[in-house]
Amino acid sequence: MVSMVDDEELRLFHSLPRRLHHGEAACLGIARRRNWAFLTNDKLAHRTGRMYGITVSGTLGVLVQGIERAFVMVEGEDELLRERIDRGYRSPHATLQRFLESACQARNELTRYVSEGVELPL
């Protein structure tokens, strides 16, 4: 269990929209202060986190990362997503293919930059 430990986390918690569930608001305060990523499927929490500069992802992002990093082995990339949808997950996308292609392109571009010794802006 993680809890808010300083005044800045509490200030951010109290400054967030009241429409946010208190659990999401607390997590956003902690993520912002500690520079952590925040995982949620709540649209308002997702948008709010991005507005505050917090790295935010949800189920789709976790699935794509798991497949990309070979933590999740799936016969056909979309099988795991379909399984989640069958269990009630309301996905905005029916397939992971677009995300996996984008990730693959980004990885290939980064590999090319590194092999060419190009200095990347941070």
What is the SS3 assignment for 121? Answer: coil
Element (H, E) at 47: helix 43-51
pLDDT of residue 109 exceeding 90, the answer is: no
- The pLDDT, as a whole number, for residue 50 is 93
Contacts by 65-70, CB closer than 8 A, 24 or more apart? 67/96, 67/100, 68/100, 68/103, 68/107
Q: What is the DSSP string of 102-116?
A: HHHHHHHHHHHHHHH
Q: Give the per-residue pLDDT at 103.
A: 66
C-alpha closest to that of 94 among 102, 84, 103, 107: 84
The model's pTM is 0.59
- For 8-46, write each residue's pLDDT tens digit: 888 888 888 899 999 999 999 999 999 999 999 898 999
Residue 15 to residue 94: CA distance in whole angstroms: 35
Q: How far is CA 32 from the centre of its chain?
A: 14
pLDDT band per the 50, 70, 90 thresholds, residue 122: very low
